[in-house]
Structure formats: C-alpha cells, structure tokens
C-alpha cells in the first residue's frame, strides 16, 4: 500500500469523512430531494440488519417503499425488521436470509427473487473485513467472496429484472479507502505475501467502483452509482478499526444516518439520476476516484481481466 496514498487519504479523511465534514456538506443539501412517496417502488438492501444498511432501509420504509432486507443472520434480521416496521409504520418490509459470501446461495436467491418479485432499486451494502485470511466453504477468500464476487453475482443476476421497470437504479456502498489502492488483478484472493485485511477490503472497494463504471457503460437504461459513506460509527467500523484508533476518533465519526444519507439520496432522489451513470459519490456529489499523483489508475486491459475472472467464478458456482 503506497505510503503517499495512505498519508494523503488520511488527511483528506480528517477533513471530509468525519461528522464535521458531513455537517459542512449538508448545508448545501436540498431537503426536497428526499421528499418522495415511494409506495410504488421496491428496494433491495443487502446487509440491512445493522449500520448503514439498516439506516437506509429505515429511511426508505418511512417514505412508503417496499423493502427487501437481505441478511445473513435470521435472528438479527427479524429484530431489525421489527424495529423498522415499528418506526416507519410500514408493513412492506421483508427478510431474505442469504450469505453473500456464498456464490451459490447468491445465485439461487437472485434467480428465485426475480421470478417472484419486482425490483426498482438494488442497494449493494453488505460487506466484511476479515483481518486474517479465511476461506469460505466454496474455497474462496472471504473478503473477496463477500465484497466483490457476491456483489457481482447479485447485480448481474438482477439486471434483467431491473430492466423491466421504470427508473431502475443500482447503488453500491464502496469506501473512500479504495483511494489507497490500484487494482491488482493478479492476486484477487490475496494468496501472495503477508495478508492484510485492511488492504484486502480497500482492494475490494476499488473493484466495486470499477464494476460500477463498467456496468454503467454496458446497461444504459439503469442508473449505476457507487459511494463513500464517510467514517461512520457502525458495528462494522468498530470491528474493523484498531481499538485505540477507534477510541481516538469516536467523537469525530458520523452517525449511521449520516453515513446512509447519500445512499438514500442516490436511491430515491430525482436529482441523482440527472447526473451521469457510473460515478462515485460523497455527500451527494460526484467526486474523483483517484487521489492526485497517486498512480492508482488501471488499464482497460486490467479491468477486462477483472470482469473475465469474476464471470468465470460466477459461472463456476451457478446452479
């Protein structure tokens, strides 16, 4: 990981990714952008039982949207659903139990869902940061399987359903941490060298941004976007950050609702789809996907190699 990229990113984060960064940006937000009646719209939110995913599902349910929560843990999902229904007074909230690290499970769920449900907006929020190299039952590195391959399979499998509706959208919750990484297509499962969970996560998030750009160029009728939620105080953030570092910046972290704000805006606002598809957003604005002088850009050939590898993995586990 480049020392230069890391240093520039950290300074940028302290200025922009914190609570104060959000509050400064929010002064320019239009409240009317989220003033929507979503009673005729269906949304899927992965990783919706806590953190930014739950906050996103909550805001959509409050506006009348039908919410499909895709979660791994049934008990936690049902508890979150009960809280969302109670607070939103919206009964159209449904739980689907899927392990996003299992390629076969994701395929089976997406195929079944497409046959029985309508979908207007897919929100790829589920993610993990495993700090020691761990393989899934299918023999895949867990961060890659969850963050990249699971997102790839779910999105590509649901594109035909999205193409059937009006104003379809796909929002992928990436991370500003991807700015520290240049795409490495030669070691997608982190088999070489010493394993670094933070680096693996950031690499996956870079992959998600590239996928979003590629999907946007291939499927013009769907609005694709990726985004950075900022540094939010979520269960995932607490688990993934060193304990001492988390304590030091706790007072600076955004709330879960602040982290979810741009996700919701991209999912429901008429203003969002007036902007070009495929962009990376932060606080409701498109932002650069590379730091200045960071040498993190990949070639078209490298990006093609990524897509080919993901498609090969996807077909291997397709039922």
Gap between the Cα atoms of 106 and 162, Å rounded: 17
Beta carbons within 8 Å of 244's beta carbon, 6+ residues apart: none
Do residues 217 and 226 touch, judged by C-beta distance below 8 A? no
Pick from 103, 111, 135, 225: which is nearest to 174 by CA?
225
Gap between the Cα atoms of 240 and 253, Å rounded: 14
Q: What phi and psi, each to the nearest 5 degrees, are found at residue 286? A: -70, 135
Pick from 223, 309, 304: which is nearest to 271 by CA?
223
User: Which secondary-structure segment (H or E) carries 256?
Assistant: helix 256-268
Q: For residues 69, 250, 265 and 219, what is the CA-based torsion angle, rounded to 10 degrees? A: -70
Beta carbons within 8 Å of 97's beta carbon, 6+ residues apart: 71, 72, 73, 74, 77
Gap between the Cα atoms of 202 and 183, Å rounded: 10
Count of residues in the chain: 319
Clarify whether 201 is annotated catalytic.
yes
Give me the catalytic one of 17, 22, 152, 201.
201
- Positions marked catalytic: 201
């Amino acid at each position: 990981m480049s020392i230069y990229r890391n240093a520039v990113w950290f300074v940028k984060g302290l200025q922009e990714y914190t609570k104060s960064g959000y509050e400064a940006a929010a002064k320019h937000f239009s409240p009317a952008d989220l003033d929507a009646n979503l009673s005729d719209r269906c949304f899927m939110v992965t990783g919706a039982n806590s953190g930014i995913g739950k906050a996103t599902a909550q805001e959509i349910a409050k506006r009348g949207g039908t919410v499909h929560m895709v979660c791994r843990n049934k008990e936690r999902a049902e508890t979150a659903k009960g809280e969302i229904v109670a607070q939103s007074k919206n009964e159209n909230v449904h739980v689907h139990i899927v392990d996003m690290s299992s390629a076969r499970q994701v395929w089976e769920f997406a195929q079944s869902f497409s046959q029985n449900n309508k979908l207007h907006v897919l929100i790829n929020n589920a993610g993990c940061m495993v700090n020691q190299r761990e393989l899934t039952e299918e023999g895949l590195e867990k961060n890659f399987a969850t963050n990249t391959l699971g997102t790839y399979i779910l999105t590509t499998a649901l594109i035909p359903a999205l193409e059937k509706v009006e104003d379809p959208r796909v929002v992928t919750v990436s991370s500003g941490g991807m700015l520290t990484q240049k795409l490495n297509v030669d070691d997608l499962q982190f088999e070489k060298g010493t394993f670094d969970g933070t680096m693996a996560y950031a690499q996956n998030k870079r992959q998600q941004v590239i996928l979003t750009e590629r999907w946007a160029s291939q499927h013009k009728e769907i609005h694709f976007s990726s985004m950075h939620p900022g540094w939010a105080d979520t269960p995932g953030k607490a688990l993934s950050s060193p304990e001492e570092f988390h304590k030091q910046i706790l007072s600076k972290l955004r709330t879960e609702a602040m982290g979810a704000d741009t996700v919701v805006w991209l999912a429901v606002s008429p203003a969002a789809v007036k902007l070009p598809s495929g962009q990376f957003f932060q606080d409701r604005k498109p932002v650069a996907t590379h730091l200045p002088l960071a040498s993190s850009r990949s070639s078209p050939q490298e990006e093609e190699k990524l897509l080919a590898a993901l498609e090969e993995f996807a077909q291997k586990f397709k039922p």
